[in-house]
Amino acid sequence: MSTEETPGTGTPGPLWPAMLPPRRQGDDSLCAISAKGIRVRFADGHERLDGSSGLWNANLGYGNSAIAEAVSEALTTASYLSSWSFENSYTRQAAAALVELVGPQQFSRVIFSTSGGAANEVCMKIARHFHVLRNEPERKIILGLRDGFHGLTYGAFALTDAQLGQRMYGVDRRFVGHVAANDPAAISDALAKLRGRVSAIVVEPVLGTGAIPLSDEYVAELLRLRKEHGFLLVADEITTGFARIGNAMFESQGWPEAPDLVITSKALTNGTMAASAIVVSRAVAQKFHDFDTVLGHAETQSGTAVAGAAIIATIAEHQRYDSILLSSNLAKRIDVVLAELVEREPLVVGATGRGCLRALQLANAQGPLERADVDRLVAAIRAAGALVHPGPSCIQLVPALIYSDDDLAELADRVSAGLTLFANER
Where on the chain is the footprint of ligand PLP (CB under 6 A)? Answer: 115-117, 120, 149-151, 204, 208, 236, 238-239, 265
Closer to ligand PLP by Cβ: residue 153 or 247 = 153
User: 160 near 116, Cβ under 8 Å?
Assistant: no
Closer to ligand PLP by Cβ: residue 149 or 242 = 149
CA 112, CA 109: separation in Å to the nearest integer? 10
* Minimum distance from residue 117 beta carbon to ligand PLP (Å): 3
| DSSP three-state, residue 209 | coil
Closest CA to 398 of 363, 364, 351, 362: 351
* Minimum distance from residue 149 beta carbon to ligand PLP (Å): 5
Per-residue CA distances from 106 to 103, 232, 241 (Å):
6, 14, 17
The amino acid sitting at 25 is Q
Closer to ligand PLP by Cβ: residue 27 or 204 = 204
Per-residue CA distances from 19 to 8, 11, 24, 66, 293 (Å):
18, 17, 10, 32, 39
Closer to ligand PLP by Cβ: residue 54 or 61 = 54
User: 127 near 199, Cβ under 8 Å?
Assistant: yes
* Minimum distance from residue 52 beta carbon to ligand PLP (Å): 11
* Minimum distance from residue 153 beta carbon to ligand PLP (Å): 6
* Minimum distance from residue 239 beta carbon to ligand PLP (Å): 4
Closer to ligand PLP by Cβ: residue 39 or 389 = 389
User: 142 near 175, Cβ under 8 Å?
Assistant: yes
* DSSP letter, residue 242: T
Q: Is 409 exposed, middle or buried (0-12, 13-18, 19+ CB in 10 A)?
A: middle
CA 267, CA 285: separation in Å to the nearest integer? 24
Closer to ligand PLP by Cβ: residue 280 or 421 = 280
Closest chain position to ligand PLP (CB):
116
CA 139, CA 175: separation in Å to the nearest integer? 9
* Minimum distance from residue 202 beta carbon to ligand PLP (Å): 9
Q: Which helix (H) or strand (E) holds 411?
A: helix 405-425
Closer to ligand PLP by Cβ: residue 149 or 231 = 149
How many residues are recorded in the chain? 426
The amino acid sitting at 120 is N
Closer to ligand PLP by Cβ: residue 207 or 337 = 207
User: 243 near 249, Cβ under 8 Å?
Assistant: yes
Closer to ligand PLP by Cβ: residue 221 or 236 = 236
* Minimum distance from residue 57 beta carbon to ligand PLP (Å): 9
Please give the full DSSP string across 331-384, using - where no structure is assigned.
HHHHHHHHHHHHHH-TTEEEEEEETTEEEEEEEETTEEPPHHHHHHHHHHHHHT
* Minimum distance from residue 181 beta carbon to ligand PLP (Å): 13
Percentage helix, strand, coil for the chain under 3-state DSSP, each rounded to 5: 40, 20, 40
* Minimum distance from residue 251 beta carbon to ligand PLP (Å): 11
Per-residue CA distances from 318 to 68, 131, 327, 400, 402 (Å):
14, 36, 11, 12, 11
Q: List helix spans (H) across 269-304.
A: 282-290
* Minimum distance from residue 120 beta carbon to ligand PLP (Å): 6
CA 102, CA 57: separation in Å to the nearest integer? 18
Closer to ligand PLP by Cβ: residue 32 or 194 = 32
